[in-house]
Amino acid sequence: MLTKRFSEAFNYAFKLHYYQNRKGTRVPYVAHLMSVAALVLENGGDEDQAIAGLLHDAVEDQGGLKTLDTIRNHFGDRVAKIVDGCTDSYTWPKRPWRERKEQYLARLIQADENIRLVSLADKVHNARTLLWDLQRYGPSVWRRFNGGKDGTLWYYRALADFFMSSESTPLSNELSRVVCEMERLAEKE
C-alpha cells in the first residue's frame, strides 16, 4: 500500500525535474522516474524503494549532497541510502564518463538488495528506451550518449552480466534480453 509519502516524493521529484527532458528527446524526464518506480513496485519493491525510484537521479542531476540531505530529512535514512547507492556523481561538472561508470559498477558489487532493485529498474527502463529509439531512429541515437556506441554497449553489457550473475530474476532477465537486442542491432550498423 502506498501512502502520502509516495505522493510527496512524486511532487518533490516533479519539482526537481519538471524542466528536464530525456536525452535527445522531448519526453519529460519525470516519465522515466515514474517508470522506474513502477518497475520497482511490479517487481516486489516496497514504498521506500519506490520512493527511491522516483528520486534516484535527484542527487546527481539536482544539487548533489545538499539534495541527498533533503531526501534524508523528508523520506528517511533508508530512502537516502538507496538514492545514494544509485548516484554516480555528486558534483558538477561530473568526472569523466568511463571513470564514473566503472566506479558505479564496482559499488554495485557491495550494494544491498534495496539499491540493486532500484538500480536494476533504472537500467531496464533506460535500456528499453534506448532500444526503442534505436529501432525508430537508427544509429544516430548513439550520439546522445557520452559513452558513444562502444562505451554505451560496454556499460549495458557489464550491467546485464552483473545483474544476471548476482541473481536471475524476471527483471535481470529483461535487462539481458534488451541488451542482447541492442547488440544485435549495433552489429547491423
Give ∠ CA 118-119-125 in degrees, rounded to 5.
90
Q: What is the Cα–Cα distance from 55 to 174, expressed in whole angstroms? A: 22
CB 141 within 8 A of CB 127: no
Name the one residue in this structure whose C-alpha cell is 526537481: 16
CB 18 within 8 A of CB 150: no
- Of residues 47, 48, 60, 88, which has the active-site annotation? 60
Residue 12's contacts (CB-CB under 8 Å, 6 or more residues apart) are 54, 55, 58, 74
Written as nine digits, the cell of 147 is 559513452
Catalytic residue list contains 48? no
Composition of the chain by helix, strand, coil, percent to 5: 75, 0, 20
- Of residues 61, 102, 161, 181, which has the active-site annotation? 61
Written as nine digits, the cell of 77 is 535514512
Catalytic residue list contains 189? no
Annotated catalytic sites, by residue? 60-61
